[in-house]
Structure 1
Amino acid sequence: MIGIFLVNILMALAWGAMSGSFEFVNLVFGFVLASALLYTIREQIGSGGYFKRAGRVLSLAGLFVYELVLSAWRVARMVLTPDISNLKPGIIAYPLTVDRDFEITLLANMVTLTPGTLSVDVSRDRAVLYVHCIDVPDPEATIEEIRNGFERKILEAFR
């Protein structure tokens, strides 16, 4: 899997050398071009899993952008509402399904980068992520939203 990714990068660099331009946009074009080439010969080189994983990583990135926009909209509405007495801030204990350091770090960072939430800590046994929410009227719904959103997509993309 990683070998195919490195081949893809080397082919993009070869494209840069052949075209005489190592500008970012040209290298991205070379990467996409190399991906298309590798995709056409995927059965011969056994790289079908590489493209499935790439699609899953793109799906995770799309979900993150969607949640980022949605959360930014929610926080902007909260800020522009003169009455903040309805807000229920709190810290929730999110039970982790992910157990690898990379996955925990990615989940914690995605939660932190989403407006209105902040990863506070991970328990010593790496089983619980503590998340501060600016408004958490239903902690169980928030836990389910994270479980069925970011965490599910992380598991799909990296396992």
Structure 2
Amino acid sequence: MRQYIAYALVLGIIWCFVSGKISILNFMFGSFLGVLTMLSLKKLYRLEEDTSCGNCMRRIPKLATFLTILMIEITKASVLIAKIILGPKLDIRPGIIAVPIRASKDASITAIANTISLTPGTLTIDVSDDMKTLYVHSIDVSDPVALKASIRDKLERYVLEAFE
């Protein structure tokens, strides 16, 4: 219960800065919206589990690393896609591959799927029923083993560190 109160207070402060009006009434409204948001998402994020302040503070550098790696991968993929588009010959082999994942939490699986979809040239299509495999469409699957390794080593690894 204490973590709900702490999160509601933080979300109230964030609401004040986002809305551009810092007042007690606006803070209370933001906190109320935060409580409603947490209640609607509590099954997905399980706020009761592992929510100590120290754990949250330890995740900040890992989240920063994840976001940095994500920006680097998006930039590299954008350059690759630009080279494909601007090249004189369209030499691609689009296809769908099955990528086994190690994530166990719903939030981690969602983060991995969204990270793949944010990277230009790839799109997460589906998740298997047992939540152990992602089906990914790629603009070029000429080397599916390297593509799977890239997703597991560059994207999934940092998602697991940040979210699990």
TM-score higher than 0.5: yes
Aligned counterpart in structure 1 of residue 154 of structure 2, from 140, 149, 155: 149
TM-score, length of structure 1 as denominator length: 0.71
**What is the alpha-carbon distance in structure 2 between the residues aligned to residue 115 and residue 106 of structure 1?**
16
Q: Give matches, 1:1-150, under 5 Å.
A: 6=8, 8-9=10-11, 16-17=22-23, 47-84=53-90, 86-150=91-155
- The 1:12–1:112 alpha-carbon spacing in structure 2 relative to 1, beyond 3 Å, is closer
Q: CA deviation at 1:9?
A: 4.4
**What is the alpha-carbon distance in structure 2 between the residues aligned to residue 14 and residue 81 of structure 1?**
48
Q: CA deviation at 1:5?
A: 5.1
**What is the alpha-carbon distance in structure 1 between the residues aligned to residue 12 and residue 74 of structure 2?**
33
Q: 1:72-95, CA deviations, whole angstroms, 9 ceiling, x for partnerless residues?
A: 1110110000211x3122211100
Whichever residue aligns with residue 77 of structure 1, its letter is: K
Give the percent of matched residue pairs that are identical in Structure 1 and Structure 2: 34
Q: CA deviation at 1:115?
A: 0.6
**What is the alpha-carbon distance in structure 1 between the residues aligned to residue 11 and residue 83 of structure 2?**
43
Structure 1 runs (4+) greater than 4 angstroms displaced: 1-15
Is the CA contact (8 Å cut-off) linking 1:4 and 1:47 kept in structure 2? no
- The 1:76–1:2 alpha-carbon spacing in structure 2 relative to 1, beyond 3 Å, is farther
Q: CA deviation at 1:106?
A: 1.4
**What is the alpha-carbon distance in structure 1 between the residues aligned to residue 54 and residue 69 of structure 2?**
23
Q: CA deviation at 1:101?
A: 1.8
**What is the alpha-carbon distance in structure 2 between the residues aligned to residue 77 and residue 105 of structure 1?**
29
Q: CA deviation at 1:130?
A: 0.6
Aligned residues: 132
**What is the alpha-carbon distance in structure 2 between the residues aligned to residue 117 and residue 156 of structure 1?**
22
Q: Unmatched 5+ residue regions in structure 1?
A: 19-45
1:131 alignment partner, SS class: strand
1:103 alignment partner, SS class: helix
TM-score, length of structure 2 as denominator length: 0.69
Is the CA contact (8 Å cut-off) linking 2:107 and 2:163 kept in structure 1? no
